[in-house]
C-alpha cells in the first residue's frame, strides 16, 4: 500500500506543478458526488465495513459527468455548456485499525474537462482551461460508534479535510481548505441493505461564482438495495446532493444540486470488487450533471470470522463430525465406520461377524438370523443354468430362460413370441415383423395387404384393371391394396425412390403388352400422387411379358404374371409419367 500512496502523491505533485502556471480562476469544484472511501459497497454512501486490526483497501473510481455546468445565453436564449464533459479518476486508499478506526485518503485526478464561454447573471464566464489537473485532496478519519458490519444498524462519526490542491481554472478545486464533520449509518436486514450520510462542508470564506454563492453547505446521501448472487452483489439506487446554509439559500433550487443513480458492486473473488453506476441530475443546479457514469475497481482483503473448535463430546481428540462413536472414546481409524470407536471384539475369519456371535469363527461365512448358522458359509444353491429362477431339475429348457407353465413339457421354456403384436404367433406368422390379420392361407397368415420385403413393397392382392385397359377397376379389392401401399409410403419417408412396374402374361402382341403394362403402372402412380405421395419419389415402367413369375400355359399362371410390383430404389430408363 505504501507504494500506491507514493504513486498517488507523485501524480498529485506533478499535476499541482502544471496548474501553478494558470493565472485566471474561473470557478469552483463542480463535483457534487462526495465519493465514498475505498472498501464501501456504495458510491455516495458508506457500508461501514470497519473490520480488521490492520486492514487496507485501495482502488480507483472513474467518474464521468456530462454537462455539470450550463447557462442560458442572454443574447439568443440558447443553453450553453460552460463545462460539457468532466472526467475524474478518484484514486484512494484506506486503512482500518483495531476494528473501529479508519483512516483514508482520496486524490481526485482530472485528466479531461471541456466546455465553452457563457454569460451568467450578467457575468462573463470563461470555459475550463486546457490540460489535466488534480482536485482537492481529501483526508479522512471515521470511528465506529455502535454495531458491526452486517448488523441491522451500524453508526459512525467522522471528519474529512479537503486540501486546496485543486485548480479553480478547471473547476476541480475551491482554492481554500474545507473541514467536513459527518455522521454515517448502514445496516442489513436479510437481503436488504442500506446506508446514509449527513455531513457539513465548512468553508472558511464565502465566495461567489457569477450570481451563485459558494459557501458552507450540508451534504447528504441515501442508498438502499439488495444483496444477491451468494451475497457477492449489492445493487440499488443512490440519492445524493447538498444545499447551501447561508444567504437564505437553504434548499433553494439554484443552490441544491441533487442526483439519482443506480449502482452495483460485485465481489469477483475474495478481495477484488468491481463496480458500475449510471445516473442523472434531478435538480439542475451548480455541479448537477445531466448524466453521470461510474466504473470502479478496488482491492481489500476479505475478513473471515474466527470459527470455534468443532465439538468433541467424548474428548477422544476426534471431532464429532468424523467420530463414528461420538459418546464413546476410541482411537482414530482409517475406516470411517470405526473412526473414534472402541476396538471391536476379534473377528478371526474376517467375515464381519464378530467371534462371540460367529457360529463358524474360523471359516468365513455370512450373517444369519439363525444363531446356529450365523457367520457360517451358505450352502451352494441348486443349479439354474439359464437363471430364470426355475431350477434345472424341473426346467424343460435348462439352457434357455423361460417362464413357469402348468404344462410340465413347457415348464421353464420361453413363451411363444408374437414379434409384431398382431395376435398371430411367430411360429405360424408368414410376416412375423409386419402386423396383419389371421388367414387360413398359411402364405398370408398374419400379413398386411402391403409390407416391405426383399427391397420391395410386397402386396398380397393384385391391383385389378379392365381387360386390355389401364383403367383401375373400381371396388374395394383394388382400393384396399392401393391404400395399403399408400400407408407404407406415408409411414416410411426414408424411402426416396420406388419404381412401379407393370407386367402382363404372354397373350397378345409383345409391343402391345409392354405399352399396356407401362400405362397400368402409370395409372397406379397417378393414383398414389393424387393421394398425397411426392411424385419425385415414384417412377413407372412397363415390362410386358418379359419377366414372368409363373407359367403362361395355365390360367392360374397367367393370372400370376398379370401384376403390378413396387421396387424400392429401382433405376429405370423409362420416362416418369406426369403426375
Q: Is the alpha carbon torsion for 375, 377, 382, 384 positive or negative?
A: positive
CA-to-CA distance for 158 and 184, rounded, in angstroms?
8
- Which architecture characterizes domain 2-299 according to CATH? Beta Barrel (2.40)
* DSSP state at residue 17: H
Q: Residues in the chain with pLDDT < 70?
A: 1-27, 72-79, 119-122, 130-131, 207-213, 247, 304-308, 570-579
Q: Which of 536, 450, 541 is nearest to 493 (CA)?
A: 536
Between CA 294 and CA 299, with CA 298 as vertex, the angle to 5 degrees is 170
200 burial class (0-12, 13-18, 19+ CB within 10 angstroms)? middle
Q: Which CATH homologous superfamily contains domain 449-568?
A: OmpA-like domain (3.30.1330.60)
Helices 476-491, 510-530: axis angle to 10 degrees equals 60
CA-to-CA distance for 195 and 201, rounded, in angstroms?
19
Q: Where are the domains of the chain?
A: 2-299, 449-568
End-to-end Cα separation, the chain, in angstroms: 87
Contact 98, 160 (CB under 8 A): no
- Check residue 354 and give its pLDDT: 87
CA-to-CA distance for 44 and 263, rounded, in angstroms?
10
Which residues make beta-bridge pairs with 105? 93, 139
What percent of the chain is predicted at pLDDT more than 90?
Answer: 41
- Check residue 525 and give its pLDDT: 95
Which residue in this structure is represented by grid cell 474466527? 306
- Check residue 574 and give its pLDDT: 39
* DSSP state at residue 438: -
CA-to-CA distance for 121 and 78, rounded, in angstroms?
14
Residue 66 grid coordinates:
456530462
CA-to-CA distance for 28 and 165, rounded, in angstroms?
12
CA-to-CA distance for 310 and 332, rounded, in angstroms?
16
Contact 83, 171 (CB under 8 A): yes
* pLDDT, tens digit (0-9, with 9 covering 90-100), for 442-496: 878 888 888 898 899 998 888 889 888 888 988 787 888 899 899 999 999 999 9
Which residue in this structure is represented by grid cell 462413536? 325
- Check residue 176 and give its pLDDT: 86
Which residues make beta-bridge pairs with 92? 59, 106
Amino acid at each position: 500500500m505504501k507504494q500506491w500512496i507514493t504513486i498517488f502523491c507523485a501524480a498529485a505533485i506533478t499535476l499541482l506543478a502544471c496548474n501553478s502556471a494558470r493565472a485566471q480562476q474561473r470557478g469552483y469544484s463542480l463535483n457534487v458526488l462526495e465519493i465514498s472511501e475505498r472498501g464501501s459497497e456504495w458510491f455516495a454512501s458508506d457500508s461501514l465495513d470497519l473490520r480488521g486490526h490492520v486492514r487496507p483497501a485501495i482502488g480507483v473510481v472513474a467518474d464521468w459527468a456530462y454537462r455539470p455546468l450550463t447557462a442560458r445565453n442572454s443574447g439568443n436564449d440558447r443553453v450553453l455548456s460552460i463545462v460539457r464533459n468532466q472526467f475524474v479518476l478518484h484514486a484512494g486508499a484506506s486503512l482500518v485499525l483495531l476494528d473501529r478506526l479508519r483512516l483514508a485518503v482520496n486524490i481526485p485526478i482530472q485528466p479531461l474537462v471541456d466546455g465553452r464561454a457563457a454569460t451568467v447573471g450578467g457575468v462573463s464566464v470563461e470555459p475550463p482551461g486546457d490540460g489535466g489537473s488534480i482536485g482537492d485532496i481529501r483526508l479522512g478519519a471515521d470511528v465506529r460508534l455502535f454495531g458491526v458490519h452486517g448488523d441491522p444498524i451500524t453508526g459512525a462519526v467522522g471528519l474529512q479535510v479537503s486540501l486546496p490542491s485543486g485548480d479553480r481554472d478547471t473547476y476541480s478545486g475551491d482554492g481554500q481548505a474545507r473541514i467536513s464533520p459527518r455522521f454515517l449509518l448502514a445496516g442489513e436486514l436479510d437481503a436488504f441493505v442500506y446506508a446514509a450520510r449527513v455531513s457539513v462542508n465548512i468553508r472558511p470564506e464565502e465566495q461567489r461564482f457569477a450570481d451563485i454563492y459558494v459557501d458552507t453547505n450540508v451534504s447528504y446521501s441515501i442508498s438502499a438495495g439488495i444483496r444477491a448472487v451468494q451475497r457477492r452483489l449489492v445493487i440499488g439506487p443512490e440519492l445524493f446532493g447538498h444545499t447551501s446554509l447561508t444567504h437564505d439559500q437553504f434548499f433553494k433550487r439554484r443552490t441544491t444540486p441533487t442526483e439519482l443513480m443506480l449502482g452495483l458492486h460485485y465481489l469477483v473473488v475474495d478481495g477484488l470488487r468491481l463496480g458500475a453506476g449510471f445516473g442523472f441530475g434531478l435538480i439542475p443546479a451548480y455541479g448537477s450533471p445531466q448524466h453521470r457514469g461510474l466504473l470502479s475497481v478496488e482491492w481489500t482483503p476479505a475478513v473471515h470470522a474466527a470459527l470455534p473448535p468443532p465439538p468433541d463430546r467424548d474428548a477422544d481428540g476426534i471431532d464429532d463430525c468424523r467420530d463414528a462413536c461420538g459418546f464413546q472414546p476410541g482411537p482414530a481409524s482409517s475406516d470411517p465406520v470405526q473412526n473414534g470407536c472402541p476396538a471391536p471384539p476379534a473377528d478371526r475369519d474376517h467375515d464381519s461377524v464378530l467371534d462371540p456371535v460367529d457360529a463358524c469363527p474360523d471359516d468365513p461365512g455370512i450373517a444369519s438370523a439363525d444363531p446356529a448358522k450365523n457367520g457360517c458359509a451358505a450352502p451352494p444353491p441348486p443349479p439354474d443354468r439359464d437363471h430364470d429362477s426355475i431350477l434345472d431339475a424341473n426346467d424343460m429348457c435348462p439352457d434357455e430362460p423361460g417362464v413357469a407353465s402348468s404344462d410340465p413339457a413347457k415348464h421353464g421354456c420361453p413363451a411363444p413370441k408374437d414379434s409384431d403384436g398382431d395376435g398371430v404367433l411367430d411360429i405360424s406368422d408368414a410376416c412375423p415383423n409386419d402386423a396383419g390379420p389371421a388367414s387360413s392361407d398359411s402364405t398370408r397368415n398374419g400379413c398386411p395387404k402391403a409390407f416391405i420385403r426383399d427391397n420391395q413393397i410386397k402386396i398380397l392382392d393384385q391391383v385389378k384393371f379392365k381387360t386390355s385397359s389401364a383403367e383401375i377397376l373400381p371396388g374395394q379389392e383394388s382400393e384396399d391394396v392401393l391404400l395399403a401401399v399408400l400407408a407404407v409410403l406415408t409411414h416410411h419417408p426414408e424411402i426416396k425412390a420406388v419404381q412401379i412396374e407393370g407386367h402382363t402374361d404372354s397373350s397378345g402382341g409383345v409391343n402391345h403388352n409392354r405399352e399396356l403394362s407401362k400405362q397400368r403402372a402409370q395409372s397406379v402412380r397417378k393414383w398414389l400422387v393424387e393421394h398425397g405421395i411426392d411424385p419425385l419419389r415414384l417412377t413407372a415402367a412397363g415390362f410386358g411379358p418379359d419377366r414372368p413369375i409363373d407359367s403362361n400355359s395355365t390360367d392360374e399362371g397367367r393370372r400370376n404374371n398379370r401384376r403390378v410390383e413396387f421396387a424400392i430404389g429401382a433405376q429405370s430408363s423409362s420416362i416418369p409419367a406426369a403426375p
